[in-house]
A and B are shown apart, each in its own frame.
Chain A
């Protein structure tokens, strides 16, 4: 790693101030950032740890019934405490491995927007609101392609608000080495319709499968997906799966997610 300064502010305001320094970078749990730094692929002058900000940690239910997760909340905490949204808790319980879940945070995951990460699918399928120190961003506007988000420089995810669906499930087919999603499908059924978000598959990062959403909104059963398929043109093709295979898995995993949604 290149060397850097380290700061661990106790408030969002202090963190924002610290991030104002040139080439300062926020540090969530570091489970992706630290390996990246080890490869010397980034050279921040200062890392500003967000793990010491008490107001950014924890899970609660908002006045509108949404499940609110602090931006610095670890996956392990979400797995344990997001019982109001079981599919979200189950998703968090299968990110990385136990030790990674004890450090990795939801804010860090969403800010990084890895095309194979699990949380982006959960947030997009839930129509979550990404709350930052300056504004609220709808999930549909937030994800802008692989490793790209609507966040501005120095902007911090302080909270993520998930409307709780009637039924939901996340079905992950793991890339066998990294255990990230080769294809992960999050299906969430709300009163006003079904949302389907897919991670791991596309060169454009997480995306919604609108045909599946339409079919499932009128008939929330795996059978409703018969005959539907995604084109493989923009799918990722790598050592672990061809584009055609990923496109195929999108269909299989979506059906399985619907069948298990509760």
Chain B
């Protein structure tokens, strides 16, 4: 067993983990941050994406012990200080970029990582960046729209009769 200490969503968090404890398991089970989801076991679906020291990683493919001393941000840490949705989250709602919501935390975290590096991505760049995030509900169309909108770019108006 190893003692780990990290900063999660701006707050100190620590716990005792086994060598095999994954970051996703530590977040979900030790810290009760169940917004980080696990949708596969081959590191492809991306429902578990969090930020570790500012970089998007798959929390199901990183040992909790590896995150010792790191700054971790999860979906629970993304809203504005007053609890309102941040720009990306708001764009996902405005553009109906989610349905069942299961892939959504990972999508939002990936979108945030993309826009940090590339504030005005093209549609193709958004689609390419989402290679590691699988959504089964939306067909991605509205996710791509939401991310482009969150970047301040004009996207076609939403559905209207």
A→B interface (CB under 8 Å): 1-6, 8, 27, 30-31, 34-35, 37-39, 46-47, 49, 51, 76, 96-100, 102-103, 178-179
Residues of A within 8 A of B132 (CB): 96-100
- CB distance A35 to B43 under 8 Å? yes
Q: Say which residue of B2, B20, B55 sits within 8 Å of A102 (CB atoms).
A: B55
Residues of B within 8 A of A2 (CB): 20
- CB distance A8 to B129 under 8 Å? no
Q: How many residues of B contact A (CB 8 A)?
A: 29
A2's nearest neighbour on chain B, judged by CB, is B20
- CB distance B19 to A5 under 8 Å? yes
Residues of A within 8 A of B56 (CB): 98-99, 102
Q: Say which residue of B19, B61, B114, B131 sits within 8 Å of A103 (CB atoms).
A: B61
Residues of B within 8 A of A102 (CB): 52, 55-57
B→A interface (CB under 8 Å): 2, 18-20, 22, 41-44, 46, 49, 52, 55-58, 61-63, 65-66, 68, 110, 113-114, 129, 131-133
Query: How distant is the Cα of A30 from the Cα of B58 in the complex, in angstroms?
Result: 11
Indicate whether A34 sits within 8 Å of B63 (C-beta atoms), given known contacts A3-B20, A179-B131: yes
Residues of B within 8 A of A31 (CB): 43, 61
Query: How distant is the Cα of A96 from the Cα of B147 in the complex, in angstroms?
Result: 21
- CB distance B41 to A47 under 8 Å? no
